[in-house]
Amino acid sequence: MYTAELDRPTRETNSTPTAATVLMAGTFANSSHAANFIIFGEIGVGRSSLINLIAGEKLATTSSGATSCTLQSTKYKVKLHDCQCEVNLYDTVSKR
């Protein structure tokens, strides 16, 4: 079960919650519809890197500097293996 304190272990499993647990807490985990998550942030904070981390593979283009790689908002369909569900992650263009 998901707890509100993400930096502490969960009560039942005594481990840190997975990305799937955090994303699907309070959403439609058993639904046939994919949950939608929009990632916002300033230039260079790691929105695309976060999407890649959640996906477990490189889907979004990233850079090592504080430059913007995301030139238009992009939707990524990601299968979360922990809960056997699919989510839509939207990488947004940052405001300058």
Residue 94: predicted pLDDT: 79
Best CA proximity match to 94, nearest among 37, 39, 38, 42: 42
Residue % of the chain over a pLDDT of 70: 58
Flag whether pLDDT at 87 surpasses 70.
yes
At residue 77, the pLDDT reads 94
Domain boundaries, given as residue ranges, for the chain: 19-91
How far is the first Cα of the chain from the last one, in angstroms, to the nearest whole number? 39
What confidence tier does 14 reach under pLDDT thresholds 50, 70, 90?
low
- Residues recorded for the chain: 96
The reported pLDDT for the residue numbered 24 is: 59
Nearest CA to 68 among 32, 51, 43, 36?
A: 43
pLDDT of residue 21: 66
At 63-83, the pLDDT tens digits run 776 666 667 889 999 988 777
